[in-house]
Amino acid sequence: MAVICLLVQAATMKAYSQTTNVTLSFKNATVKQVLNDIEAKTTYHFLFNDQDVDVNRKVSLTDTKQDINDVLSQLFKGTDIVFRIEGKQIVLTKHKPIARPIKGTVKDEKGEPVIGASVVIQGTTQGTITDVNGNFSLTAPANATLNVAYIGYETVKMPVEGKTQLVINLQQSAVALNEVVAIGYGQVKKSDATGSLSTVSSKDFNMGAISSPEQLLEGKSAGVVVTSNSGAPGISSTIRIEGGSSLYASNDPLYVIDGVPILSTTAAGSSGPLSTLNPSDIESFTILKDASATAIYGSRASGGVILITTKKGGKKLSITYNESTSIATVPKTLNVLNATDFRAAVAEHYPGSVDLLGTGTDQTSSTNWQNEIFQTALGQDHTLSISGTTGKLPYRVSVGYNNTDGILKTYNFNRTTMDVGLDPNFLNNSLKVHVNLNGTYNGNNFADQSAIANAVSMDPTKPVFNNNTAWRGYTTWTQNANSNPNGAAVALGTPNPVAQLNLTDNTSTVLRSIGSVSFDYHVPFIPELHANLNMGYDYSESKGHNNVQDSTAWTNNATVAGGYYNPYHQINQNTSFDFYLNYIKQINPIRSEFNLMAGYSYAHSYSSITDSTMNAAKTAYSAVATFSPTAVNLVSFYGRLNYTLMDKYLLTFTLRDDGTSRFGPGNKWGLFPAAAFAWKINDESFLKNSRVISELKLRLGYGVTGQQQINQGDFPYVGSYQFGDSFTQYGLGNQFITTVRPNGYDANIKWETTKNANVGLDYGFLNNRISGSIDVFNKITDNLISQVPPAAGTNFTNSLLSNVGSLNNKGLDFAINGTIISTHDWNWEVGYNISFDKVKITKLTSSNIPNYSIPQGFIQGSSNDNAQVFMVGQTPYAFYVYQQVYDKNGMPVEGVYVDRNHDGIINSSDLYCDHSPTPDAVMGISSRLKYKNWDFAFDGRVSLGNYVFNNVAANSTWNTVLHNADYLQNVTTQIYQTNFQYQEYHSDIYIQNASFFRMDDMSLGYNFGNLFNQKVNLRLSLTCQNVFVITPYKGLDPEINGGIDNNFFPRPRTYVAGLNLQF
Amino acid sequence: MKYNKLFIATALFVALVTTGCVNSLDIQPLDPKLITADVLFNNPANYYSLLAKCYADLTLCGESGSSGSPDISSSDQGVATFSRTLFTAEENGTDEILNGWGDGGLIEFHNQDMSNINTYDLVLYDRIYFNIAVCNEFIRQVDSRLSTIPDSIMGNVTQYLAEARYLRALYYYYAMDLWGNVPFVTEKDAVGAGMPPQIKRADLFAYIESELKAISPSLLPANQNPQYYGRANKAADWMLLAKMFLNAKVYTGTSDYNDCITYCDSIINAGYSLHPKYSELFLADNNATCLDEIIFPIVEDGTHSQNYGGTCYIINAAEGGTMNPSFFGIAGGWSGNMVTSTFIKKFSDPSGLTDQRAMFYNFNYPSPGAGQNVTPTPPPTSATAFTPTLAVDKFKNVTSTGAPGSNSTFPDTDIPFFRLADVYLMYAEATVSGGTNGSMSLALQYVNDLRTRAYGNTSGNITSTDLTPSFILDERGRELYWESTRRTDLIRFGEYSNGDYMWDWKGGVINGKATSATNDLYPIPAADMTSNSNLVQNPGY
């Protein structure tokens, strides 16, 4: 270094031959003062550009008489200013320094080399990236500054200061960490994402006693509707991302846990595909919404993709213990006639049948059956996790235990989980390994949930027990029940709901393990190249039974009242193998970055179920044991190019070629392309300095995805024969002959194809204090699987799934998040999202006959009636009903409907589509308020324009009370709204507005900070879940998945005390 | 260099796995229950299993348990059986049934205001065409393998082939009867191929006739050998021909009573005789006791043939309210079917003490004749409330010795689908209606044979002047009620829709009203109109 400086000086000096001596003496003066002094003492004038020469620099010069050249050399020593004496003028100019080779190493905060970090000379487009050892070398002027950047780290500006060997330490960026999002086979800075996606991380999760992970997401993301399927603990939720794009095939998203796609189907004996995961082990969800984001998952992506990232080990030892205790209460029961009203109603409407009423000495015995089956239930949840780094091995180990009772008596969900994450590095950190192993033991008691309906129907004048000996003491409808409680049961008589709960053993245990190992190898001789290998498995085994003791009047299958013995056993195996290469190349002269990924994937899934039903004594089968194994294989090739120009214009192309064993020759392979463009408008010069707009990114995306989960088994294209069991034989010549049937099939069946166009805008104001996005999408599903009747006689079924329909789904999603207050003591963040979604069936059959409809939505209580339809031009599951006629007092006139087509006859051509269960708009609202150590938060949701068929009300007619002459049934007080004699299932009076606002949770917490010499951090919280619901709906709960409300398992109101300890 | 090696090794590994896995897309079904045609027909015994399916389609709904692995989709697999919904289509629109359930689709039958989206109309149509498709499959597969079938079983297979063709003809007969002009598919059409043409009712008549005549030589002989019980023999073939010719005017526009009489004669001369006790024809052991009279049964069994159609439906739906299920041999009924008061009045004495065919629960329980003093039943004030006073106890799941059937939900009672009594009445009707090769005295004798059995003596016998067409229609009701022939009979006599015969709640009014002649045919379901553009809907729908 010293040598080089000398050379430079020597070169400078050689240029000047003229000599003038000047005497100067300055101590800590500015350059300007020196120059002025020289001008005063000599005849020279200085010429220079103010911007080049720093005249305010402080210098000291020794008190000697020196040649002007020596003085100036001394004055500008160590700067880039050179001087040239031209006559009486001294011209000062900036010297263009000579670039010199510089070597350096980039390390992270752990001291590990950072591979692939970009090193760019500031103000230029020149740069390089670090190799496998974190080393780089480039040529740069001694005075240059290097910008060193790596995704997830704060960018470091490092001045060279003449050095030739640099060590640059990067700090992980808290902000950037959150902004890196998984996109499937890689990750990207959120600001560089081109697709429509949203991330929900642990800090945003819903609070309370949450036993199934999907509920963490309720209301959190625009366009993502999460509906819990019932109020049972651990129960799965139905997730719809930007509405559905299918009618018969799956609309469920693809779940990918740490790179392993898991089965989205629910195994027998399990509450749901995610119910075996401990929500505490989840770091974040990334929801890929539009096809430009999801197309990388090809034929499984039409329902959207949810990438789940589990928590990882950190550097410092951290022990966390979370505990919560919950009390679940019954928020509401249905208003049924009480014993007094019921006696009066029977006396009025069926005076001949009053002797069926409960006797009791004073004629006032009464039972509130709903109170008998529901309870206040306790739950507990514990998670202990330890994370840190031992030696060079970062790890996280967690153990979780959840045990929650349902508010339906005997219902129980318990789960023990263990999760291990390891992140070792090998080969000088060029090989990064991530191992995740998850094991779950899950126990369920599903109870007999038909007790909920029967608690509504059971005669309130009857006691729970009536001292009989034939029916285990439980009051049972027998012939002449009052005089002969031990008599033969009335076949259709309402089962005693308390007996159903107590005598049913419907339990299961599920063992499940999900594991993955991923290798990220930084190829040493091609520093731009990463090779990734992910291998994963998902194995579950569930064993359960739904057994009922004998002497139970409602079990009539194999033998009358003989109970049930129904064991089942299911095994699911899912393995996946993914290999992909990732090549990132910056080409600075054209200010471009290419990020190219190409890979191959293989997935195999196998499942088998064994099932049989006998009577409790195991003497007679009603369904013989069957063993049904099946398998699917998927082979895929995929690639993605992300091209970034000037760090402002981003282009993404993806292509996936998917092969599946599910479809026949000619249909096995499908191509799923997508393209997206994003423009970071805020980086344009006209916005770059804006203090208001901190982010503005326009996104355009288009892509094609598929849906191969068509719910028709794994071999829908294969023509096959099936032998019947021992109950489906036919007697010929006094022998019973086993039958064999040709099965219906469509040899040409294949996946549905969804084309999706999306326009989105991500915005951020005031340094992203306010941020959000707006997306508009249009999805068209072609080759829609529709259940069409094949022309009669041409196939071995009357209902064939075929690719003949089309569906259109348009919508708008808007999200805004803001920090309203941010001071030292106060912090208040709020989030709001709204989405609008219009789904319409545009084609159902190959020949579009008007008003052709496919019935949906079976009406409970009817023998063969449906409440909903699929019909062209309508939302799927639109209600299909008659228009009720009302009298002048506003009371409905029974069985009188509007002749909508004016043909003088009221028949099925007067049915019309009246609303649907699909809401017009859904909103999510959340708030997080902090004051010093206190925090208060709530999350709520709004759904507007969703309708429900109130099946419970539809069965509340006088005819229900005495449908058959030998037993009575109770009804809800909704009977007074219609006073109908008979079931009028098709009246639109039962299509009821079920819009709602639900306060999902409210939570108050206090953080005690560091206790015990800073060793322990303690936070306590109180949460109420399902705080209140505001709705015009007249039934129990407006949020009914599928839209047919028939004795719903109520969602409990739960109070949770939580404790969070961190060591 | 070690990196290079690692990289190359990885690349090789990946290449290997990749090529290996692409082939994995050709996997075959693993489920041992799903087998391909070549494997199936490799075993000669399986020909009989597929033929058994053609038969089982008369009353079973699927391949697992009472409703599992269904043949056709329906929200109620009981409804999806041929035996049950044919019963509905033949009975519910007539004087022989009122149904207490009030389901919209069932009310449309009784009100005779059927819509083209009626689910029962659809499910019966789908069931019949499923059955035809299975028969076609049998014929197609066997025809294509005739050269490979070992001589040792060739005779059997030829017989099976004739039986499959018989069953196909039987299913087509009902398609012709219920809907008139219908889609026409044979074994020559490939599976899943397009839209079949619509055949005219008269052309279908000719096709069925030619089929029945062509297969007759290959069928089992017309006898009552228990070894062949349940299988279609020559008598079953003649019976179907006789039924066709009796209704020829309806189906083709030209009556053909002579052919009817010819085939009736063939059956009568084949050795069948009336079973001495009428009530035993409808009991759980009728498969053992009534072979003298039953020509072609639908075989039911509570242990081996479980289904919610057939006699399970007929017996369970007939029981309800305060009635005693054990009298019916079942655990408890469904409070569904009863008769109209109009029908009860067909019996001058409904108590069953004189004409024992009057099997009305109100009079029979707890002992025959118990309710004999009950005043004539008035029309029910509701068409859809189950009323035990109108209940029928003709079919029961108890044996002739009073023992209950093997299962208290699924009866052992077979449906005596074709029986000699019907042949006697067809003979009489064809003769009275102008058939020239019949004998009036024989006709009178056959009718009196039935009445002698019914009364236990000759006190109910009639004279030749009584033997009018309208008497025969009433007598068919008394003899054959709830045996799935009433609608066809009423249509043949012009009394089904707009005739002057009224019964309770016909047309949806308590005392009955004439309805549109449209109802003499059911609508081709809208679903098939959509799937098959060759079809022309029946008038009025």
User: A479 vs B102: CB contact, 8 Å cut-off?
Assistant: no
Query: Cβ contacts (< 8 Å) between B29 and chain A: which residues?
Result: 630, 714-715, 718, 720
**Are B118 and A908 inside 8 Å of each other by CB?**
yes
Minimal Cα distance from B228: which residue of A?
A: A733
Beta bridge partners of A518: A434, A534
Q: What is the pLDDT of residue A557?
A: 66
- With 0.95 as the threshold, say if the pTM is over it: no
CB B183 to CB A791 under 8 A?
A: yes
Q: Which of A746, A864, A906, A982 to mutate to test the interface with B (most CBs of B within 10 A)?
A: A864
Q: What is the pLDDT of residue B441?
A: 96
Encode burial over A270-305: b for 16+ CB neighbours within 10 A, e otherwise.
Answer: bbbbbbbbbbbbbebbbbbbbbbbbbbbbbbbbbbb
Rounded distance between C-alpha atoms, residue B86 and residue B495, angstroms: 20
Q: What is the distance, to the nearest Å, from the Cα of residue A893 to the centroid of all Cα atoms in its chain?
A: 46
What interhelical angle do B257-268 and B420-432 show, nearest 10? 150
Residue A528 CA to its chain's centroid (Å): 33
pLDDT of residue B10: 65
Nearest-CB residue to B27 (from A521, A661, A963):
A661
Q: How far is A145 from chain B (nearest CA, A)?
A: 33
CA dist B62 and A597 (Å) reads 50
Question: pLDDT tens for residues B299-351?
Answer: 999 999 999 999 999 999 999 877 888 899 998 788 899 999 999 999 998 88
CA distance A598 to B129: 51
- Chain A residue with CA closest to B118: the answer is A908
Provide φ and ψ at B154, rounded to 5°: -60, -40
Residue in A closest to B231 by C-alpha: A732
Which residue from A minimizes the CA distance to B22? Answer: A635
Alpha-carbon distances, residue B329 vs A149, A309, A554, B87, B284 (angstroms) = 85, 61, 18, 21, 9
Is B322 in Cβ contact with A965 (below 8 Å)? yes
Distance in Å, alpha carbon of B417 to nearest chain A alpha carbon: 15
Closest by CA position to A773, among listed A724, A690, A701, A824: A701
By C-alpha distance, which of A445, A354, A381, A437 is closest to A408? A445
Residue of chain B minimizing CA distance to A613: B65
Nearest CB to A792; choose among B71, B126, B330: B126
SS (H, E, C) A172-231: ECHHHHHHEEECCCCEEEHHHCCCCEEEEEHHHCCCCCCCCHHHHHCCCCCCEEEEECCC
Q: CB–CB of B320 and A908 under 8 A?
A: no
**What is the three-class DSSP state of B38?**
helix
Contacts of B316 in chain A (CB under 8 A): 491
pLDDT band at residue A743 using 50, 70 and 90 as cut-offs: very high
Token code pair at residue B27: 């996997």
Q: Residue A793 and residue B533: Cβ atoms within 8 Å?
A: no
Q: Which of A626, A630, A795 sits opposite B191 (nearest CB)?
A: A795
pLDDT at A2: 36
Per-residue confidence (pLDDT) for residue A3, from 0 to 100: 36
* Residue A900 predicted with pLDDT over 50: yes
CB contact under 8 A, A734 and B229: yes
The whole-angstrom separation of Cα A1063 and Cα A706 is: 47
How far off is chain A from B74, nearest CA to CA, in Å? Answer: 8
End-to-end alpha carbon distance in chain B: 83
Q: Compute the average pLDDT of residues A969-983.
A: 91
Assign 3-class secondary structure to A634-652: EEEEEEEEEEEECCCEEEE
Look-up of token digits 């780094």: A389
Cross-chain Cβ contact A727/B64 below 8 Å:
yes
Q: Which residue of A has its CA nearest to B136?
A: A793
Instruction: Collect all residues of chain B within an 8 Å Cβ-Cβ radius of residue A865.
Output: 103-105, 119
Tell me chain A's radius of gyration from C-alpha atoms: 37
- By C-alpha distance, the chain B residue nearest A910 is B115
Most confident of the ranges A313-322, A463-472, A785-794, B290-299: B290-299
Q: How far is CA A645 from the centre of its chain?
A: 32
- What confidence score (pLDDT) does residue A63 get? 66
Closest in A559, A730, A959 to B56, CB measured = A730
Which of A732, A751, A858, A911 to substitute to test the interface with B, most B CBs within 10 Å? A732
pLDDT of residue B437: 94
d(CA A628, CA A892): 51
- Contact residues on chain A for B34, CB-CB shorter than 8 A: 715, 718, 720-722, 743
Contact B305 A728 (CB under 8 A): yes
Cis ω for the linkage preceding B366 (within 30 of 0): yes
Which range is most confident: A263-277, A743-757, B6-20? Answer: A743-757
For A857, the closest chain B residue by CA position comes to B75
Write the single-letter amino acid at A819: T
Query: Over 80: is that where the pLDDT of A625 sits?
Result: no
B-chain CB neighbours of A845 within 8 Å are 530-531
Nearest residue of B to residue A846 by CA position? B531
Q: How many residue pairs bridge chain A and chain B with CB atoms within 8 Å of each other?
A: 353
- Over its C-alpha atoms, chain B yields an Rg (Å, rounded) of 26
Q: What is the mean pLDDT of residues A1040-1060?
A: 92
Among all residues of chain A, which has the CA nearest to that of B195?
A791
**Pairwise pLDDT comparison (B492 vs B8), residue with the higher score:** B492
Mean pLDDT along residues A917-924: 94
Q: Classify the phi-psi angles of A553: left when phi > 0, otherwise alpha if psi is within -120 to 50, otherwise beta.
A: alpha
Written in H, E and C, the secondary structure of B40-76 is HHHCCHHHHHHHHHHHHCCCCCEEECCCEEECCCCCC
Q: Please check whether residue A879 is in contact with residue A991, taking contact to mean a CB–CB distance below 8 angstroms.
A: yes
Contacts of B101 in chain A (CB under 8 A): 863
> Residue B191 and residue A479: Cβ atoms within 8 Å?
no
User: For residue A356, which phi and psi values (nearest 5 degrees)?
Assistant: -80, -15
Residues in chain A: 1063
Measure CB to CB from residue A986 to each of B104, B194, B287 and give the nearest one: B104
Task: State the average pLDDT for chain A.
Answer: 87
Q: Do A623 and B76 touch (CB under 8 A)?
A: no
pLDDT for residue A360 is more than 60: no
Residues of B in contact with A798 (CB under 8 A): 72-73, 123, 126-127, 129-130
Cα A101 → chain centroid: 50
CA distance B425 to chain A (A): 28
| C-alpha distance from residue A261 to each of A265, A270, A535, A602, B285 (Å) | 12, 18, 11, 11, 58
How many Å apart are CA A308 and CA A536, to the nearest integer? 14
- For residue A27, which of A40, A39, A37 has the smallest C-alpha distance? A37
Q: Token pair for residue A672? A: 């799923």
- The closest CB to that of B231, out of A623, A635, A732, belongs to A732
Of B32, B66, B129, nearest to A793 by CB-CB distance is B129
Residue, of B210 and A554, whose pLDDT is higher: B210
